[in-house]
Structure formats: C-alpha cells, structure tokens
Amino acid sequence: MKPYDALERAAPLPDPKRRAPGADPVRGRGATFNPGNRYRRDAREAYDDGWERPAEGEGESRQVRTTVTIQRVRTIIARNDSPDIPFTQSINPYQGCEHGCIYCYARPSHAYLDLSPGLEFETKLFAKPEAAALLRAEMAKPGYVCDPIALGSNTDPYQPIEREWRVTRAILEVLCAHEHPFSIVTKSALVERDIDLIAPMAAKNMARVYVSVTTLDRDLARRLEPRAAAPERRLQAVRALSSAGIPTGVLVAPVIPQLNDKDIEAILVAAAAHGATSAGWIMLRLPLEVAPLFRAWLDEHYPLRAAHVMSLVQQLRGGRDYDGTFGTRMKGTGLFADLIEKRFELAARRAGLGRHRERPFDTTRFHPPRANEAQGELF
C-alpha cells in the first residue's frame, strides 16, 4: 500500500489563501477552508465583490452539518507493506472523520472521492455498513492468513457517527466470533461501549487499545481536535479499559513543536496513573493538502507563534514542510527530533511505561468462517 504522503501529485497544491474574503472559520470544525482537489485541472478563486462582511448572527450560517453516505466497497481489509508501520492489515469502517483534527494525515484521501481534504473531509463522511459481512467473506477464503488487524489506522473507528451506524462494533463481533486478533487506536471515549467484546479477547492476548492523548490543555484540544473527546475524558477511558484487563497504551501523536510538546511528561504521568502500560509518540506529519490547511489553522488560532512553529517543523523535515521518507517520516530528523526522543524515553521510563513493544498477538486460535454459516456442517 503506497502511503498518501508518497503519492505523485497530479496537480499543484492550492495556494493557501485561506478562505473567501471576509468569511469566518466554521464553528466547531478543524479546517478553516476547503483546498481544491489536486486531481482537478480547474479551480475556483474567491472574489471580493465589495459587500461588507455580515454582522455576527446574520447572513450565511457558518455551521456546516455532517452528512453520511453509504459507501459500497468490494473488500474491507487494507494491506500494508510500509516498513515503518507495525501492522500488515487494517480496516477503516469510515472514510472521512468528524473529529476534525487539523493535522490528520488521512485528509488527502478525500481527493480520491472528488472532495476537498479540508472542511469536506470532516463534514462529508462515508460509512461502510457491509464491512462485517465483507470481513467474514475475506476471512473465509482458503488462502487467508491470520495476521492482527488494526482498527483506526486511517480515520477514527469511534468517531461520533459510530454511535448510530455501529459499523465498528459489527466488525469486532466478527473478529471475536472467530478469535482473530486486533488492535484499536482512538481518541474517543466511545470505545468503552465495546469493553464487553474487547476484554475477553484481551484475556486471550488477542486485543489491545491505544488511546491518543495529544495535549492536556483543554483550549488547545478544542481548537486542534474540535469534535474529539476532551483530554480528561480520554484518560477516563484509559482507566476503564485497563480496569477491565485490556492492555492499554497512550499515543502522544502528533507532537507539534511549540504547541503541545510541553505536555509530553505530564501526559505520560497521567497515563500511567490511569492504568496505561505502554506509550508511543509520532511527530507532526504534513503531507500534501495537510500543510496548507495546518498553516491556515496556525494563522487563525496562533498567529504570533505560527512562523516559529513552522520554522521548527521545517528543521525536522530537511527544510521542507514534510518529508515522507520511510524510517524518518514518523519522527523527523535533527536536533529537535533527537531532543523529543530523549525527553519521551526518559519520561516514559520514569512513569513505568513500556516503549510500545508488547509481546506478539496469539494467532493460533483463529478459526475461519465457513463459506455458508447459515448451513450446518454434515460432520
């Protein structure tokens, strides 16, 4: 599987001129504008026709509703051969993510649907209600090899629409029924709902959960991840999961220079206090359209720090906004990257947290579905 940050660009990325003249950022969303689709040859340019900006509460509403469309897919397991990713199989129950994290590296995937990686990524979502049936069919194939499946590798499997659509839970029910190991990455407390499925699998060394805690600063979290659970609520989820006997790790991801790197030590101390047993970190990644979106977000929310943050980001990436080289794209290079690595290692060791290297999952119990489970076996 070729990562988004390594794709060839079919067209130049849009000039980050932000949004239409006089327009306010959309309330409760991460992106401040919709960059154009990189695969299109044409583009729209905002034009100021001289009308004054409407007063607050008047004119066009800046609240954009979330829409969900059913996505019909032929297969549900995505295969990965990237050398710096610790899994070979993953499932994405949804495309797009309502959490609206401005830094999300999955945003460019919306361009494949002729949509923008900006606001449309977090407001025009796609659900895969047939995912469980497709998973069962793929596992039933004679050549299928059981290897742990990662949920949450692209978009959050417990984003708000999961409450209604329950695609993630249906997938877990299939995995549990056939004793297929899995891991989950989320920044949502909704994962607590499925403890009844996850805990029995964890007892057999077939399930783990990683909760992403980016900052303990509520104001920063509200701007950075506008529709994700509050930081303290995520830590409560860590406690609930670990109390149920589920191995639970915390991911400080991404680390953003001069925005949330100050919280690394405090996050790890809090994570350990809530029962986490492991921790990991990833440096900020800005592939393709994510870079202009993040720059616009910085200018909107942290204008006095924007230049300094991007200067440090470029120091990590060889003078560019991003470098997708395998092996270094997750951590960056240079003095600042080395400093974060050493700080994290020291803080994790003091907190008694492992370095995200647990024992291998047990794959020996897996039993594939029968081709027709509705029909009983003759013998």
- Answer yes or no: is 41 within a domain: no
At residue 58, the pLDDT reads 45
With pLDDT > 90 as the criterion, what percentage of the chain qualifies?
Answer: 77
Average pLDDT of span 199-211? 98
Q: How many CA atoms lie within 13 A of 300 on its CB side?
A: 24
Residue 124: how many other CB atoms lie within 10 Å: 19
- Answer yes or no: is 183 within a domain: yes
Q: Is the pLDDT of residue 9 over 90?
A: no
Query: Are 341 and 108 spatial neighbours (Cβ–Cβ below 8 Å)?
Result: no
Most distant pair of Cα atoms in the chain: their distance: 80
- Answer yes or no: is 3 within a domain: no
Q: Which residues contact 259 (CB under 8 A, 6 or more apart)?
A: 215, 220, 224, 302, 305, 309
- Answer yes or no: is 48 within a domain: no
Average pLDDT of span 266-284? 97
At residue 45, the pLDDT reads 62
Which one is predicted more confidently, 172 or 376?
Answer: 172
Q: Is the pLDDT of residue 3 over 70?
A: no
Q: Which residues contact 222 (CB under 8 A, 6 or more apart)?
A: none
Q: How many CA atoms lie within 13 A of 319 on its CB side?
A: 0
- Answer yes or no: is 26 within a domain: no
Q: The dihedral of CA 85, 88, 91, 92: what is its sign?
A: positive
Mean pLDDT taken over the chain: 88
Q: Rounded to two decimals, what is the model's pTM?
A: 0.86
Give Cα separations from 236 to 86, 186, 188, 212 (angstroms).
Answer: 26, 13, 11, 12
At residue 372, the pLDDT reads 63
- Answer yes or no: is 50 within a domain: no
At residue 63, the pLDDT reads 73
Exposed / middle / buried, residue 374 (Cβ in 10 Å: 0-12, 13-18, 19+): exposed
Residue 290: CATH number of its domain: 3.80.30.30
Distance of alpha carbon 309 from alpha carbon 112, whole angstroms: 30
At residue 17, the pLDDT reads 45
At residue 246, the pLDDT reads 98
Tens digits of residue pLDDT in 131-149: 999 999 999 999 999 999 9
Which one is predicted more confidently, 12 or 186?
Answer: 186
At residue 13, the pLDDT reads 47
Collapsed DSSP state (helix, strand, coil) of residue 40: coil
Average pLDDT of span 147-167? 96
At residue 48, the pLDDT reads 55
Residue 137: how many other CB atoms lie within 10 Å: 15
Q: Is the pLDDT of residue 277 over 80?
A: yes
At residue 176, the pLDDT reads 98
| 379's tokens | 């013998």
Q: Is the pLDDT of residue 7 over 70?
A: no
Tens digits of residue pLDDT in 352-376: 997 555 789 999 999 999 866 555 4
Q: Measure CA 109 to chain center.
A: 12
Distance of alpha carbon 324 from alpha carbon 308, whole angstroms: 22
DSSP string, 173-235: HHHHHTT--EEEEES-GGGGGGHHHHHHHHHTT-EEEEEE---S-HHHHHHHSTTSPPHHHHH
Q: Is the pLDDT of residue 39 over 90?
A: no
Domain that holds residue 315: 66-351
- Answer yes or no: is 130 within a domain: yes
Tens digits of residue pLDDT in 79-96: 998 998 989 999 999 999
Confidence of residue 55 (pLDDT cuts 50, 70, 90): low
Collapsed DSSP state (helix, strand, coil) of residue 321: coil
Counting the structural domains of the chain, the total is: 1
- Answer yes or no: is 331 within a domain: yes
Average pLDDT of span 197-217? 98
Collapsed DSSP state (helix, strand, coil) of residue 124: strand
Tens digits of residue pLDDT in 285-327: 999 999 999 999 999 999 999 999 999 999 999 999 999 999 9
Q: Is the pLDDT of residue 52 over 70?
A: no
Q: Is the pLDDT of residue 151 over 60?
A: yes
Q: Which residues contact 264 (CB under 8 A, 6 or more apart)?
A: 252, 255, 281, 340, 343, 344, 347
Average pLDDT of span 12-20? 46
Indicate the range of 22-31, 115-124, 130-139 predicted with least confidence: 22-31
> 80 φ, ψ to 5°?
-135, 135
